[in-house]
Every structure is written in structure tokens, then in C-alpha cells.
Structure 1
Amino acid sequence: MKKREPMDLGNDVFLIDGYDMGFEGRTGTYVLLGDDITLVETGPSPSVPRVLAGLEELEIPKEKVAYVVLTHIHLDHAGGAGLLLQECPNAQVIVHEKGKRHLADPSRLIQGAKAVYGEAFDELFDPILPIPEERLETKTDGDKLTLSKNRKITFYDTPGHAKHHLGIHDSLSNGIFTGDTAGIRYHQTEDHGLTFYLPTTSPNQFDPDAMLDCINRFRDMNPSCLYFGHFGKTKDPDQTFDQVSSWIPVFVSEAKDALEQGQGLEGVQQRLHNRVASYLEDKGIPQSHEVYEILKLDIDVCSMGLADYLKKKSRT
């Protein structure tokens, strides 16, 4: 098993790589130090042993974990929460009010993920364990939580990727944990001097207008940095906001054209791939680059969400 030391991101924030789907730098768990040790995201259950190993490397006893904060309940971010809680006996899980019932009874989460990932579900996500209701705490827009005398986090209702999504502002770093609302940070092309950002439009609650509104709300907060669900930290929030905001209408337009021309889901996937590949080619990224393996997975899932959004929109 590959091993990677927890990454020190400054301001008493560390990042543990969960090797989601076997990829380095795909999905991680943030550790916020303070009087109340707080984790942001758990990743899926197969990542939990890595999270525990990272805590051990940081010399943090599992009993000291006070909070596990979930930006949203999609299984790549929150699927391991039930399993992790078995090892962290004093931790409370913090989640959006619309996500609580699905963590207490994850049957619908499991059903939805199986519809997207099919036969790969068990390898990627199993087991999904229910969380006792007394260990679940909900937050809504504007709620705050003091973690130490110099660290307070504030929660924001940030739909667009999902209706059960929280953005989290950290007072110590003036950073925002964006989950999936402000897109994915593709750092894999840093070997060619490029980091780029794309929206993530996975099913089944994608809403482009809400996503753009939330990105603008993040921008208005004037953060010093962003912490991504996928993956890591940027000190250039405006670059992220600009790129993701410009790609959202492109994704929607390409999907709309493909479906109207009878090209189906495969047509959406091909169009998105061609647009992103053309962009990367202009930036000097060869088509043999490893980033394309991750992009294929993301584009396939994004296409499903776009098709679902446009189908729902056509009914209104």
C-alpha cells in the first residue's frame, strides 16, 4: 500500500491523502488542530485506514477527535463516516440539515451510488454504516463553531453541486473548505506547469445557477485560500472562481446540444472530453498524460448529472 505523509498546509491545517479509487491526490481528509480536533471529510470507507494512519503520524489520539465535518453526503466525501466513528468514540458528525437522515439511514445513498457506479460500488465504497442519530449534529447558513480561542468555523448553505452542501470558512487561515461547489482542482498536470479547475456536475442535484451564485458568494468573502474536496489547497481563489464559472455554461451547452441532436449520454461525454482535451492541448498537456484517466471518470459522472439536470428542466 502506497503511503504518503500528512501534508502541512499551514495555519494548523493538515491533509491526509485517502487514495480514493486508488489515485494519489484524489480525495483527502483535512485535520484542523485546536482545542477540539476537527476533521473535514472522511472519504469513502476504503480510505478510513489511511485517515487513521495519518492521525497516528500526527500523534493525534483517536479519542481526541471532537468533530467530523462533512461538506456533503456523497460517498466519496462522507461514505466512511460511519466506519470512522467506530474508531473515534468522542466525535460528533456535523452535516447539512438535509443530509442528516441519509447518514442515519444510508439505504438511499447506497441505492443512488450503485446506480452511478454499478459493479464497482463494493470496491469503491463498501461498507456504508449508519450513524446513530445522537452523534449527528446539523448546521445551517451562518452557524458558527468555536474550535479554539483563535479558530472558529462558519457554515454556509452552498447548493449547486448538491442541496445538502455546506461551505466552511476557517477564521484562522481565512480559507474556505469548498467541498465540490467550487469545482475540482486538477493538480496532476503540475509536472507541465499547469493547475486547472473544472466544475463537478454529478447527479442528481446539479443546478448551474445555484452553483454560480455560491461561487460568487465565496468570491465576495475574499478568502486567502481554498481547500478542495478534490484535492488540496490553492492560494489563488480568483483563478479557481474564474475558471469554474467559465466552464459551467460550456458544460451545460455541450450537454444540451448533444441531447438535442440525439447523441445521448455518450455524446455528452464525448463533447465534454473534446472540449477539455482541446483546452489541455493548448496548454501543452499531451493526450498521454495520466490526468486523462481521472478526467474520464469525472467526465462520465458529470455527463450523467448534466443529462439529469436537462431532463428535469425540460419538464418545467
Structure 2
Amino acid sequence: MKTVERKPITLDERISLIDGFDLGVGQRTGTYVIDDDDLTLVETGPSPSVKYLKAGLNALGFSLEDVKYIIVTHVHLDHAGGAGLLLGDCPNAQVVVHPRGERHLADPRKLAAGARGVYGDSFEELFDPIVPIPKERLLVKGEGDTLKIGTDCTLQFMDTPGHAKHHFSIYDPVSNGVFTGDTVGIRYEKLIDAGVDFYLPTTSPNHFDPDAMHHSIKRIKKMNPDRIYFGHFSMTEDVDFALEQVDKWLDVFVAEGSAAYVEGKGYAELADRMLSRVQEYLRNQGIPDDHEIYTVINLDMQICALGIVDYLQKEKATRV
């Protein structure tokens, strides 16, 4: 799919967002640029996004030598797959990663194999190359750890599982905002022009845990942040609405999954049921079934269904 480069989005005087055109689609996944004493990036996207990231940094007036920290909320390839490739051109940077993710960035073969199982023949186009990161250039941060990136800014890290066990979120005290990766779901930017603010949980395999996700959502809500910076895509200042919507849809998805599982249906049937629930809701918001948003929602429902079925199978195995 042909993409058109966009100028970086200015969120405030110190934070910008560069569109990475994940899956060849705009407003899907991006990289946050924090302009502080130590230039800091949050997420890289997959390797095909790195060219857009480099162009965006140049448009903002930064060089690759300026980059000090590259933070990845978790090691799924649509968030961290390009970290090794980017790092090769950022001589002064370190990659900041969750303790459970360190080994996967140092040796990404298992991570790549898992993605190949999900994406099949599309893997190379979507994710190659996946470049290992030398351990000495990895900086591990876990629950309660901090990272000083400016005179007035010390980022704080918190363990936020549910989407993945190797997932942390990052609190930025200057904006009173939280970079949440995939833990509290997806924001569908393409619906904003239609006047619809819409969020869904992302329940991809193979670490999805609804109880942990609910807990992470509640934990972030209790922090009373002014902003949520989503991995997909951009930010919201209507924090309570976003978190409550993800919380409710999470219950809907799991209930649909449980019903389909009892009936002996597979993930394809579940994906169709979840899509039907989403379409019904969006129709009521004035969004037609042929809206371009379904380019990504269709894929999201398939990936989410895989994660829910995987979770239910593991739950059954523990009860046997």
C-alpha cells in the first residue's frame, strides 16, 4: 500500500509524534519524541517504519546522533521490531526495555518465529529486518525504576501486564501523562474526523490476561493522569472515558470468547462475532460498514481472537 509521509504531529512544546505507517497504514503506530536534555524516543515501530522515523526526526531538526534513549513499552514487533535497525544509526543511544524483554531484543529469533506464525507470508514485508541489539546497549527498567532525561523530568516505569508480560508503562511527570503502549488498548485516530472517540482493548497472543489487564487499567486510572499516550495512535486527554471504554469492551470480548469456546467454535468465528459487536456499536455512532477504519479493525479482531482463544485454552489446561 502506498503511503504518504506526514509531518510530525506537535502534541505540546516538548512532545511530538512521528507516524510510522505500520502495515502501510497511516495513523496506526508512531514514535513519540520527547525533546528534553536527553532526546528520548518512545517506540520505534517495526523496521519498515524506521525510514519514516528518521525523516520525522530530521523534520524536527534532530540528528540521529542526538538520540540518547529509545524506550520500547514491550517487545512485540509492531512496537520494538525496528529498535535494532534504528540503533545502528544512533551511536549515542541505549534501548530501554522491560526485564522480561531484554533477552528477546538481544536474540530476537523466538520473537520473529512467533510473529511468522501469526502473519505468515506477510512477515517479511511487514517486519524484516529484525536486528539483534548488543546487551551492552540495552538498559533494563522495571517496576519503580526511573530515568532522568532532563533537569525537570525523571520518567517513572511501572509494570503493566495484561497485553504482554514484558510490558511496562512510562509516567511523564511534566505532562502528567502515561505512555501505555498496548496495555490500555488502541485509539482509532481515523474516526476522530467523524466525531467518534473510540477505543478497544488489544488481546493478542500469547500473554493476554484479562484480569491483569483490568488491574493495569485501574492502576493507571488511579494515577489520575491528564493524558494517555497510546501506542496505537496518538494521545487523549479524555482519560476516564478512554479507560472506561477499554474496560467495558474487554469484558465484551472475553464473554464472546467464552461463549464461542463452549460452543466449540474457533478463532475465525470469534473474530466475526467481535467484529459484529464493534460494527453494531459504530453504526449507532454513524460510522458505515465500509469506512476505511475497518482496514485495521478487521485485522485487530483476528489478532485479538487468537489471543482470547489462547488464553481460554490455557485456562482450561490449568483446570484439568
- What is the TM-score with the length of structure 2 in the denominator? 0.98
Residue aligning to 2:204: 202
Residue aligning to 2:131: 129
Local SS of the residue matching 2:65: helix
Residue 35 in 1 paired to residue 21 in 2?
no
Task: Trace 1:1-316 onto structure 2 (pairs within 5 A).
Answer: 1-316=3-318
Post-superposition shift, 1:129?
0.5
Local SS of the residue matching 1:154: strand
How far apart, in 1, do the equivalents of 2:52 and 2:13 lie?
22
How far apart, in 2, do the equivalents of 1:192 and 1:25 lie?
15
Q: Match of 1:175, as an amino acid? A: G
Post-superposition shift, 1:11?
4.2
Give yes or no for contact 1:183–1:198 (8 Å, CA) kept in 2: yes
Local SS of the residue matching 2:32: strand
- What is the TM-score with the length of structure 1 in the denominator? 0.99
Local SS of the residue matching 2:228: strand
Post-superposition shift, 1:85?
0.5
Give yes or no for contact 1:188–1:195 (8 Å, CA) kept in 2: no
Local SS of the residue matching 2:17: strand
Post-superposition shift, 1:259?
1.8
Q: CA RMSD in A?
A: 0.7
How far apart, in 2, do the equivalents of 1:190 and 1:93 lie?
32
Post-superposition shift, 1:191?
2.5
How far apart, in 2, do the equivalents of 1:189 and 1:92 lie?
35
Aligned residues with identical type, % of pairs: 54
Local SS of the residue matching 2:289: coil
Post-superposition shift, 1:264?
1.2
Unaligned runs of 5+ in 1: none
Q: Match of 2:110, as an amino acid? A: R
Local SS of the residue matching 1:203: coil
Q: Show CA shifts across 1:48-70 (max 9, x none).
A: 01101111011111111000000
How many pairs are equivalent?
316
Post-superposition shift, 1:198?
0.3
Runs of 4+ in 1 over 4 A off after TM superposition: none
How far apart, in 2, do the equivalents of 1:234 and 1:152 lie?
22
Local SS of the residue matching 1:270: helix
Give yes or no for contact 1:187–1:194 (8 Å, CA) kept in 2: no
Local SS of the residue matching 1:173: coil
Give yes or no for contact 1:273–1:299 (8 Å, CA) kept in 2: yes
